[in-house]
Amino acid sequence: MNEWHLIETLAGDTPTVVSTGGVVKAWSSLSRLAPALTADVVALIAEVQRSRRRAVRLASSRKGRFRLEAFPVLGPSGDVHGIQLWIGEQGTPVAAPRIASGISWLLHRLVIAQTLEASMMSGVLPADHVPERTVAEYYAKAVKFDESESLFALALAPEHGRQWDADMSVLHADGRIMRWHCWGRGRTDGDDTGIRLLWHDVTDTEAPRKPTPAELGMQESMRTVGVYTAIVMTGPAVPAMWLPDAPPWVRWRNATGGNKVIHPDDHCLLHRAQEKFDAGDPTPVDVVARLSAGEDRWTASKVRILPYPGALSDRLAIVQVSEL
């Protein structure tokens, strides 16, 4: 009672509770919030989903009189990705809610669409907001994220309504590290095919996880020898994540699409390497590929392609890039 609850509405017709007071919940039923007020809660959630506007409802039960207040968390297309819901005793001041925002991983365009609120969560100024980022660019702010493989699995082969969630430690523009929790559901409907996602800043309830010394040591050793590593989706030839930094000579930020980082005529190099790995030959493949240096400019680089050592080995590869 007297708390904000975050309701995910990523599948539209099956809202569930995913956080109460900043404490993550396991996709819980709305009926568990306040059993005596369930009918009022369900009606208010439906109203906000429909109107996409803040709404207030006064309710009562044998336990007293209550104020219910809710407002939508919109995604980039204007759909309701979630709802912030206050349930409190009448007369109790309504506290400020924790920050939440909606984003979408768009499979057909190989980009992540984001709202202004999603940009501002990590300290981006409104004037610097861009509505779309490449996948690698979006996750570049993550300093600790262990569920990339399960996220990529759902993004590359979305199943409508399938659930995914994980925490991520994110670097804020002011230098502090935040802990976000993210919930997603697969979508297979038209231009929205991919994943709808909901971010929630829970830094004040659970400390952010940080890279281990071993992880930091590996990253620094690779930088020292001038090798830059990425996880690449081999089919569309899209870098999904740099580990941790991209080569300084490669233009990968503000690209018009994730598949514009590697020259289109060199996508076949990844396809051939993937075919080789799928045939049972794990030997690394060394090639020269052209990588973006800006609009209509390309820089030839040494590229080593290695099989991905996980469940998505038929769709992902480890790519190491160095100067030619």
* Rounded mean pLDDT, 90-101: 95
Average pLDDT, the chain: 90
**Entry pTM:** 0.84
Res 277: pLDDT: 95
Phi and psi at residue 126, to the nearest 5° = -50, -35
On whether both 154 and 165 belong to a single domain, the answer is: yes
**Which range is least confidently modeled, 23-27, 186-190, 208-212?**
208-212
Res 13: pLDDT: 82
How far is residue 241's CA from residue 211's CA, in Å, rounded to a whole number?
Answer: 16
On whether both 148 and 272 belong to a single domain, the answer is: no
CA dihedral 307, 309, 314, 316 (to 10 degrees): -70
Sheet with 228-233, side-by-side order of all strands: 238-242, 228-233, 316-323, 297-307, 285-294
On whether both 197 and 230 belong to a single domain, the answer is: no
Helix and strand counts by DSSP (H, E) for the chain = 6, 18
Question: Is there a contact between 101 and 117 (Cβ–Cβ < 8 Å)?
Answer: yes
* Rounded mean pLDDT, 157-178: 93
The residue among 191, 210, 229 that closes a domain is: 210
On whether both 175 and 234 belong to a single domain, the answer is: no
How far is residue 56's CA from residue 54's CA, in Å, rounded to a whole number?
Answer: 7
Residue 251's CATH number = 3.30.450.20
Summarize pLDDT for 213-230 with one digit per residue, the tens: 556 655 666 666 788 888
Supply 4's token pair: 């904000």
Tell me the residue range of the domain where 273 lies. Answer: 213-323
On whether both 58 and 176 belong to a single domain, the answer is: yes
Q: Considering only CA atoms, which of 112, 107, 81 is closest in space to residue 199? A: 81
How far is residue 112's CA from residue 76's CA, in Å, rounded to a whole number?
Answer: 10
**Which range is least confidently modeled, 46-50, 55-59, 103-107, 135-139?**
135-139
On whether both 269 and 309 belong to a single domain, the answer is: yes
Q: Identify the burial level of 280 via C-beta atoms within 10 angstroms of its C-beta, where 0-12 means exposed, 13-18 middle and 19 or more buried.
A: exposed
On whether both 53 and 187 belong to a single domain, the answer is: yes
* Rounded mean pLDDT, 22-32: 93
Res 95: pLDDT: 94
How far is residue 152's CA from residue 175's CA, in Å, rounded to a whole number?
Answer: 28
Total domain count for the chain? 2
* CA distances, 243 to each of 119, 138, 216, 231 (Å): 22, 13, 10, 8
The residue among 168, 193, 210 that closes a domain is: 210
Q: Identify the burial level of 176 via C-beta atoms within 10 angstroms of its C-beta, where 0-12 means exposed, 13-18 middle and 19 or more buried.
A: exposed
On whether both 71 and 156 belong to a single domain, the answer is: yes
Helix or strand run (H / E) with residue 76: none
Summarize pLDDT for 28-61 with one digit per residue, the tens: 999 988 888 999 999 999 999 999 999 999 998 8
Res 98: pLDDT: 96
On whether both 141 and 269 belong to a single domain, the answer is: no
How far is residue 241's CA from residue 70's CA, in Å, rounded to a whole number?
Answer: 36
On whether both 49 and 192 belong to a single domain, the answer is: yes
Res 274: pLDDT: 96
The residue among 156, 175, 210 that closes a domain is: 210
User: What is the pLDDT confidence band of residue 110, given thresholds at 50, 70 and 90?
Assistant: confident
Res 170: pLDDT: 93
Summarize pLDDT for 286-311 with one digit per residue, the tens: 999 999 998 889 999 999 999 998 78
Q: How far is CA 230 from the centre of its chain?
A: 17
Res 227: pLDDT: 85
Question: Is there a contact between 295 and 272 (Cβ–Cβ < 8 Å)?
Answer: no
Res 221: pLDDT: 60
On whether both 230 and 314 belong to a single domain, the answer is: yes
How far is residue 298's CA from residue 306's CA, in Å, rounded to a whole number?
Answer: 23
Summarize pLDDT for 228-250 with one digit per residue, the tens: 888 999 999 999 888 878 889 99
Percentage, residues of the chain above pLDDT 90: 67
On whether both 188 and 59 belong to a single domain, the answer is: yes
